[in-house]
Every structure is written in structure tokens, then in C-alpha cells.
Structure 1
Amino acid sequence: MRKALFALELRCCTKTRWTQSERCSRIWTRNKATHDIPPRTTPVRQPNTSNAGHTTLPSPTRPSARPLPKDRVRMQQVVIYHAGTGKIAFIGMMRLTTILIFAVSCTVVGPAYYASEEFPWYIAPAIIACAAVPMLFISYTSAPFVNQVYLHLPAVAQQSRANMLSYLKSVPRNAKLNIETMKFNFYPKRVEVSLSDLVPSKSITRPVSFMNTNPQAVAWWKPKERINFFTPEKNRPTPPTSRFFPEVWEQVFSQIKKNGASR
């Protein structure tokens, strides 16, 4: 029994020693392999001394677009007459007010009187007719009122501001004007006319200062162009701007007078 136990203990000791020796050999082999591999080093870039005497030029940049000259004019027309914001707003509010009065009379007041048995039947149409009178009167009398007058610039005058000012100093007879008035619903309406076709004119029922003797033909279903216009001979005292030249209107109005005298 003792011999069997001694043999078993001897076998276990031998196995344990063999396992420890195997572990040590593995660790030694791994360390050796690790030390044998040379470390990775990043190569250091040496400065290039071949071009030491030369300076590096910056990369050429694309030139920007050529700037336009300051006196470049792109406007196709300029304002030579302006009635004033206050006058334009006042006439527009008068038109709008009379239209609203007529609309309320037709939709509220007239039907209420017609449905009532206390009033005769002709009261309702009489109210509607009376409400239409101020609307028609304001629309007729303020139709020739001119808000603004634009002067078309030819191609030569659009090239530079100097050419434009030279053109404005002596406006020719064949110059094109764009006259802005009001429609029935107070929206602006423009009419293109020639300066040679304008002559002085007057009217007893409404203010008129000149008229267009050669209106353009329009389709039968379109409203006719306005031929009567009203403006004073001079602009209101207003300083000129880059788009507004009030002193030119006096010259244009004097040309209109000459057109009437020549005829």
C-alpha cells in the first residue's frame, strides 16, 4: 500500500514539474520573439535644401469679374413728374370711400328699406341712385389726375450717367413718355404716349391741362385709352434723386405748349 501511494505521489510531482517547465519555455520563446522584432519608427522628413535659394510663389488666383463703372446706368426710364404721395393717397381714398358707400347702399340699406312695409317701394332704388352719384362724380372728375410721368431713355442715354444727363437737358420731340393715372378702382394705369402727340387742352367739367391727339388703337372689348390728363406746369418743390429729375418736367411741359402753338 505504501509503495502504491509513493508511486502515485512521484507521478504527480513529475507531471507538475513538466508543466511548469513547459510554461517557462513558452514564456521565454515569446519574449525572445518580441525582442527580435525591430521597433517601427516613423521616418523623419528632411528639409529640401536643393531649392533653398528659391522662393515659392503663391498659386495664381482667378481674377474676379470686372467691376462695372460707377456711372453705369441700367435704368430704362426716369421719373420727371410726381404729384406727391399725399395727393395720390387722398384721391385714392376718395375713390375707395365712394365705392364702399355705393356697395353698402346696394347690399344693406336699399334691401332694408325695400323689405320694410313702412316706406314706399321707390325709396330703395332712390337710395341706390343717390349713392351712385358721388362715386360717378369722383371717378369722372379725378380721371385725368396724373400720379407720375416717366421718361423713356434711349440706348445711348443708358450707357452712362453723363449721357443720361446730357439727354435730359435737351429732350427731343419724339421722346416717349409713360403717364400713370388711376383706374376706376384706384389701381395705377399707365399709358405710353409720344411727346409730339401731346397738346394743351381744357375742360369745363373737370381739370385738364393737355391731351393725347394720337391714342393707340385697342381691341373692341378693351377699355379705350385715356386721352385727357391734368398736371401743373411745375413740380412740387422736391430735391432730385438718382431716379427723379423734377426740373425736366418744366422743359417737357413747355414743349407741349409749343406743340399746341405749331398746330
Structure 2
Amino acid sequence: MIAPRIPAAAKAAFRSPIWTPLRPHSQWQRTSQLRNPHPSLLTRLPKLLRPLTQQAKSIAHGDKDYEIPERLLIYHAGTGRITFLAMLKLTALLMGAFFTLLVVPSYVRAEKPLQDTAAAAACGVVPMLFVAYSTAPFVTHMHVHLPAAARASPAVLKRFVAAMPPGTRLTLTTMSSFTAKPRCSAVRVGELRAAVPGTRFGLVNYVRDVEAEDARRKWYMYRAVRSFYVQDARARHQAKKQKQQQRQQQLGEKGKATATVVHTWIWDAARDKIAKRERAAAGSV
């Protein structure tokens, strides 16, 4: 018996998808294709990230290339004096709160005479205001911000200080009026000028113009500090102390903390620049 011959086109038309053979794929091939769609990109990724890592390392280790840090302490008023003024401010604040919140209400409830109530209120308010007014200009710390060109070596730093430009940045730290909270004021050497003798009972020796800075501040912000008091005698006393600290730092063993060096000679140079500019301005007038 001869079987009928079916054309190839008819076989293709009646072929079911069930009989289509599947291409074998192992499990690890499918997962590798999903996780690594672009093998060439992953091989090039370290090369692409190498400049970024080098830049990050250079930024992280940038200060190690300089022998001198970017910010130096050039004036310190003394730990004992700063602590005393802070405690004085706190005592005046507590005394003012005691009289105004406890004594005065008790006088009012007892129907004391008006002059007695006013005197009790003045006993708390007047000392607090006087302490806040007289100690606000007191400078506790002063730092100088050095440019990168002046941080290469001590010799370069000395040349920079000898020809200190008026745009050299300083940070003067004072205490707030009532709470003794540190307030940092960023000023330029060229902005400071000598105050008129007798300003604020002689408790101010340097002033600056703060109109432009106050105009930029919001209404709820503190006004910029205009007056400063820097003790010149303290700077001369610290010159001797600095030499002792430098000797201790040179002789200090590894693992032992040494005292922070106060570079008072930088502030002395800046103070001389300010005085010289004042004399030149007075001579020109």
C-alpha cells in the first residue's frame, strides 16, 4: 500500500506550536544575561571612575601637602578671664530673672508702693543690662585664614605676614550679650580701624562699618558686631608664653598632647598695619 504524499507547505500549516523544539538554555546563562547585560561597560567602568577617585584622594589629602594649616589662632584672651566673664553674665541673667519673675510679682500682690516695686525691678534689670553692654565687645579668640600660597613653609608665612594685604580674612569670636554664647564675626584686616578713645567707657579699641552687612541680614537676625576690644597687653604677654609652648611642642613625646600654639606675632603685625594706616589717613587729612 502506497501512503499518500503530503506537501511540505501543508505540513508547515498543520504543525502545532507544541511540537516546536525549545532552544536549550541553562539556568546560569539566563541569570548571567540578566545581571551582566553589558559586559564591555563593566570592564570600562574602572577606567572611567579612575579620574574621579584620584580627584577625591587629592581633595582628601590636600591639607597634608601644606606644612601650615589653613586657620591659625593668633589671639587668645585667656581661659581664666573668659570663664570669669561667662560666669558673670550667667549670674547677672539669673539675678535679673529672680527679681523680675519672683520679687516684683510678690511686691505687686502685696500692694507695695510703686517706688519700691520699681526699685526691685531695677535691681534685676540694671545689672543685667550693664554687664551685657560692657562685655559685648570683648574678644575671646581670633583666627586668621591663610591662602594656599602662604601655607607652604614658615618662611613663606613670614613673608606673607610682613606684606599682609588688606583683604586678609580674620574671624573674631566674642560673647553674646546675655548668654555668653560665642559669636563669630568674619572681617577683613582693612575693615578694622582704631576706635575713638573713650568709646563705651574705654572698653572698645577697634570698630568697623557694618551697614552693608546689616542690610543683608533678615529682620529676625542679630545685628552684626561693630565694636571689639582686644587686649594689647595680653598679646605681649602671650609672646613669651608662645616660646614656652613651642619648646614643649618640640620636646613633646609621641602620643602626648601638647598645648595649642597662639601665633601672636601675626596679630601684632596686623595691629601695626592698622595703626600705620590710621596714621597715614590722619596725615593726609
TM-score tier, shorter chain, comes to 0.5 to 0.7
Matched, 1:179 2:142: no
Q: What are the Cα deviations for residues 232-262 of structure 1, in whole angstroms up to 9, with x where unaligned?
A: 2351332255652112221111111122223
Give the 3 Å change call, closer, same or farther, for CA 253–69 of structure 1 in structure 2: closer
Structure 2 match to 1:86: 80
Secondary structure of the residue aligned to 1:186 is coil
Paired residues, what number? 198
Structure 2 match to 1:138: 131
Q: Is the 8 A contact 1:95 1:139 kept in 2?
A: yes
Give the 3 Å change call, closer, same or farther, for CA 157–122 of structure 1 in structure 2: same
Give the 3 Å change call, closer, same or farther, for CA 130–159 of structure 1 in structure 2: same
Higher helix share: 2
Give the 3 Å change call, closer, same or farther, for CA 169–261 of structure 1 in structure 2: closer
Opposite residue 257 of structure 1, the aligned amino acid is: A
- What is the CA RMSD across the aligned residues, in angstroms? 2.8
* Percent identity for Structure 1 against Structure 2: 27
Matched, 1:228 2:246: no
Q: Is the 8 A contact 2:71 2:144 kept in 1?
A: yes
Opposite residue 217 of structure 2, the aligned amino acid is: A
Deviates more, 1:92-101 or 1:227-236: 227-236
Opposite residue 181 of structure 1, the aligned amino acid is: T
Opposite residue 203 of structure 1, the aligned amino acid is: G
Give the 3 Å change call, closer, same or farther, for CA 68–111 of structure 1 in structure 2: closer
Structure 2 match to 1:245: 263
Give the TM-score, by structure 1 length.
0.66
Q: Is the 8 A contact 1:72 1:161 kept in 2?
A: no
Residue number among 152, 155, 161 corresponding to 2:148 in the alignment: 155
Structure 2: gaps of 5 or more residues: 1-56, 247-259
Q: What are the Cα deviations for residues 32-60 of structure 1, in whole angstroms up to 9, with x where unaligned?
A: xxxxxxxxxxxxxxxxxxxxxxxxxxxxx
Name the CA distance, whole Å, in 2 between partners of 1:203 and 1:73. 42
Residue number among 109, 113, 138 corresponding to 2:107 in the alignment: 113
Q: Is the 8 A contact 2:142 2:170 kept in 1?
A: yes
Deviates more, 1:99-108 or 1:150-159: 150-159
Q: What are the Cα deviations for residues 181-215 of structure 1, in whole angstroms up to 9, with x where unaligned?
A: 11121011011111011111133433111111355
Structure 1 match to 2:22: none
* Deviation at residue 89 of structure 1 after TM alignment: 0.9
Give the 3 Å change call, closer, same or farther, for CA 103–131 of structure 1 in structure 2: same
Secondary structure of the residue aligned to 2:139 is coil
Structure 1: gaps of 5 or more residues: 1-64
4+ residue runs of structure 1 moved beyond 4 angstroms? 67-71, 159-162, 240-243
* Deviation at residue 74 of structure 1 after TM alignment: 6.6
Structure 1 match to 2:189: 195
Matched, 1:212 2:211: no
Q: Computing the radius of gyration over CA atoms, which structure comes out larger, 1 or 2? A: 1
Deviates more, 1:202-211 or 1:166-175: 166-175
Aligned pairs (5 A) from 1:164-175: 164-175=157-168
